[in-house]
Amino acid sequence: MKSILHSKNILFISKYLLVGLQVLFLVSCISSQQVTQMGLAEFQNIKEKQKISKNQTYKKQVERVSKRLLQAMGETGEWEFVVFEDDTPNAFALPGGKVGIHTGIFQITKTDAGLATVLSHEIAHVLQGHSLSQVNKAQGVGLAGLAINVILLQSDADKQTIISTNQAYAALTQIGFMLPNSRAHEYEADIVGMQYMAKAGYNPAEAVKLWERFADYNKKKGKSTTPEFLRTHPLDASRIKALRQELPKANAIYQRSKS
């Protein structure tokens, strides 16, 4: 009897998970203009709270490399690149053409080509609309979850079923939807960014070298060994492999840029 009730409970939960996922794939609520405004506001907030670097060497290198990348791409929009005092080797991009670079990244970029790898990756995130995609998907996840709970309440589901359904939905959407989507965006920014830098006349092979240096850095620092399916970003080895596979295409672009 207990196993029968357990089976019915699983079927009950699965039914409402399916409803939620159907809602999830139909929802898209935020416009690109709204996401851009959110990005502009967030970047301004970061500039007010974090110390902006006064290192002229870093600043001039960022100006030089970013200008060359944007010119090669024919990108005429308003972009802003700011170097922040932060030892963490990182960079980030926000909608509206806002890019932040941590001073810690320069220990890994080393050269203009290395920095071009990082900046072109961040530019690709912006131009490929990754933030809009992520925000809409997160919005969809939230609304689908709300739909599940409304249906559960209307069906007089017991408390444990509601809790179990919500836990299953959260795990399913995070591991099976949001995280893979985030990793897909990272792969795309890597590949598209490598094409951007090649078009600007930077050797795309330097992108592979940059990520090899990043892998060495992470290994020395004993970074997390979390499995890839639980990460927002691909493993270093995975993205290096993907870049190597795409290198011939980027090399062709690079050769054309020199002719």
Residue whose pair of structure tokens reads 């995280």 in the numeric block = 179
Beta bridge partners of 221: none
In sequence order, what are the residues at sequence separation of 6 or more whose Cβ sits closer than 8 angstroms to the Cβ of residue 159? Answer: none
**How far is residue 133's CA from residue 178's CA, in Å, rounded to a whole number?**
10
Angle at 21 between CA 28 and CA 12, to 5 degrees: 150
Q: Which of 85, 122, 212, 228 is catalytic?
A: 122
Beta bridge partners of 101: 83, 91
Residue 63 CB neighbours (<10 A)? 12
Residue 198 and residue 122 in contact, taking contact as beta carbons nearer than 8 Å: no
Does 186 qualify as catalytic in the annotation?
no
Residue numbers annotated as active site? 122
